[in-house]
Amino acid sequence: MDTLAKNIMSTEIISITPDTHVEEALKVLVNNKVTGLPVVTDSGKFVGILSELDIIEQIMASKTLDDVDFSEEIHFSKNITSVQETTTLKEVLVLFAESKFRRLPVVNGKGRLVGIITRRDIMRLLFYRARMGRE
């Protein structure tokens, strides 16, 4: 039986909502030592990803650093590729290889975020496959 996204995804998700302010988003990113955060609506629907680059681009849009409004709502990346719970590990690996994504959100049939697969999750998985051999 194929390994599926739901078998390898992390279900401990730290997410933010679209109305999160830049300052709050910075705090969540730094305190949780992550480089990106899934953005979900109050009903749990996945709508995008906020990356560190998104924040830098938003800040750079201001004339000077003194003009930056940190109380502004985040400008996050929409139209993000996500996978279903039933997507196979091989398909996930292909997506990682072809798209250079750092993370892949896993959504259910209703578009709700149920997990996330990061490159680190893949590294851990590969290590144990190497360690356990053909067991």
Partner 1 sequence: MKLRMEDKVGVRILHIEGAVDAHQFSVIRAGMVKILKNGKNKILVNFESSANVDQDAIRQVSELNAAARELSGEIVLVMSDPKMRGLVENFSKPPLVMCFSAVQEGLDHFNKSKAKAAPEPEDAATKNDEELLKQNQTLKSEVEQLRKQLTETSKGEAKNAKDESTRSKGLLEKLEIDIEKLQSGRRVAPDAETYEAKIGQLEGRIHQLVEELKTHQNDKPKSP
Distance CA 54, CA 67 (A): 18
Options 45, 90, 119, 129; binder of partner 1; rule CB under 8 A: 129
Nearer of residues 3 and 81 to partner 1, judged by Cβ: 3
Among 35-43, 54-62, 73-81, 123-131, which window interacts with partner 1 (CB under 8 A)? 123-131
Nearer of residues 6 and 21 to partner 1, judged by Cβ: 6
Q: Does residue number 128 form part of the binding site for partner 1 (CB under 8 A)?
A: yes
Question: Rule CB under 8 A: which residues touch partner 1?
Answer: 3, 7-8, 10-12, 27, 30-33, 121-122, 124-129, 131-132, 135
